[in-house]
Amino acid sequence: MVASDFTPEEEQLIENEFQALLSDYAHTRHRQKVDIITRAYHFARQAHGGVRRLSGEPYIMHPLAVARIVVKEIGLGSTSICAALLHDVVEDTDYTAEDIEHQFGPKIASIVVGLTKISGGVFVDQAVKQAENVRKLLLTMSDDIRVMLIKLADRLHNMRTLAAQRPEKQRKIAIETQYIYAPMAHRLGLFPIKTELENLSFQYEHPELYKEIEAKLQANKDAQMENFEEFAAPIRKHLTMMGYDFKLYARTKSVYSIYKKMLTKGIPFEQVYDLLAARIVFEPNSQFSEKDQCWMIYSAITEIYRPHPERIRDWISTPKANGYEALHVTVMGQHGQWIEVQIRTNRMHELAEHGLAAHWRYKAGGESENELDKWLREIKDVLANPDPDAIAFLDTFKLNLYRHEVFVFTPRGDIRTMAQGATVLDFAFLLHTELGEHCIGANVNRTTRTIDYILQSGDQIEILTSSKQKPEPEWLEIAVTAKAKDCLKKYFRKQEQTPQTAKSTVAKPVSLYIKGTDTFGVLMRILKVMSEEYKINISDLHVTSDGDHFTCEIELMLFDMTMLEKMCMQLRTIGSVNTVNVTKIDNRALTAEEGDGENIAEHNNK
């Protein structure tokens, strides 16, 4: 790079950022490989030359910032740091993947190639392309989890510097971050990154509401902290007497989580009472196990404050699927308010901050499969048998991404992790596809239950089957997990290809014509109604726009024709949608009057 490309002040800024990266790296437990990191930095700096970002700052500041997030906030080592420094080189410069491999070896080159494949945005106008972008994301992640971790670091820095983008681009990137990357960070156990991504997305998507909630938070801050210190003082005294080396501090609810609570509970800010939680992080002694000592601290706290009997969460005995371990208890404070206390060891805290993926075993072998392994295996299963319907594929991806867990047992006492809200039918398909297809119910805790019974943590389940039982289309409404839905869809597709297929499992093709004003997000709202609320399979989608207005032609496959009229009426309520017409049912063309959505039911059975 020519020195005159940047001012002396900018040159110093770049050098300071690189030295800060090396300092971050020096403070880790990783074996120090400063030479290769330095070479990667100089290579990236020379490759990007005098290029600047939209903000005007030297472009090299971006890969440096991403590399610092990778090492300091995620806890990865030299291979990932080098890949972060080089992540835009293949996409934005004349250098190739072969050049990277020649200079830095196949591992780093492979990660850079993976990052290059998913460098574009996920959200585009056509659902089919969106699904393909998500597939690329998942494929690269399942090959090497470091690709996704660096991508999250890249997205976090882009969100931190989003102010330089145009407002419409800000909103698009914010929605994509909220939909894909924040849940992905949560699924990988990166809670601080997940929280920041959610807050930044909310800030750009709803700027006025964000400012309003933040202002109210700041106005209450002094009073909240005063109450917290009063609450914490007797706990600190007790733990000190017990001889623990610990930290006890307040954890403030994020702006986005406050907004979510206001939305789901239908309450104003003033009625959100759990703005603060207490977190205890301690170094365990060698006399007792971590679990025992967490419960000792719980016992000490509940001697001081009265616990809520229904709000104890033991994530130590059974960690969450993303590896999270802690003991949560909610107690009554001095002023009659409920306050959550989170109890963790230093090891648990490091895991919660850096995520299970930061301790990823790169083909180390010899260790049992952890929950992240299982989740990635589920992802690979979905990719190996992709749903031809683009929207259904996105739904399956979301089911894998957004789930919370319950813990249930087989008759032999083996523990299984299931998505919250999962049914007996889901459990049957988890054990084996044939069990699912022939499931008629289950003995749950020695009580007979139907296939739609929702499982609770601690349930012991014995699946009941019958050779005469066969899946019905309604089962798609009962199934909650991605695996069960995927198995059912494959079964119905196979039945449709068989001449003897029962009438109830044959889907009819329907053509829709939708027209309206072309505003940001209108297509996503249309598709959300169809895929999330009506669970409809979309077989083809074509969108055209002149910049002001759009037309959308959608081919659907419907098992239940009775929902068509209702769905059309709901689509008309979407702002920017002016026209919704059904043009064909079962390949029979409808007149404008027949297909106007008001009298469709009369023609469904013609």
For residue 465, the cross-strand partners are: 439
- CA-derived radius of gyration, the chain: 27
H or E segment to which residue 197 belongs: helix 191-205
Q: Provide the phi-psi class of 597: left if phi over 0, else alpha when psi is between -120 and 50, else beta.
A: left
Judge whether 315 and 289 are in contact, CB under 8 Å.
Answer: no
Q: Is 426 a catalytic residue?
A: no
**Both tokens assigned to 363:** 């083909």
Distance CA 373, CA 382 (A): 14
Residue with tokens 């989003």: 162
Q: Is 154 a catalytic residue?
A: no
Judge whether 551 and 544 are in contact, CB under 8 Å.
Answer: yes
Judge whether 128 and 541 are in contact, CB under 8 Å.
Answer: yes
H or E segment to which residue 92 belongs: helix 89-92
Distance between alpha carbon 200 and the CA centroid of its chain, in Å? 15
Least Cα distance to 244 among 180, 290, 312 occurs for 290
CA dihedral angle for residue 451, residue 457, residue 461, residue 465, rounded to 10 degrees: 20
Distance CA 3, CA 9 (A): 12
The 3-state DSSP composition of the chain as helix, strand, coil percent (nearest 5) reads 55, 20, 30
Report which residue type is found at 214. E
3-state secondary structure 2-30: CHHHCCHHHHHHHHHHHHHHHHHHHCCCC
Distance CA 444, CA 157 (A): 48
Distance CA 338, CA 270 (A): 15
H or E segment to which residue 79 belongs: helix 78-85
Catalytic one of 5, 11, 24, 92:
92
Residues composing the chain:
606
Residue 102: count of CB within 10 angstroms of its CB: 10
The residues annotated as belonging to the active site are: 91-92
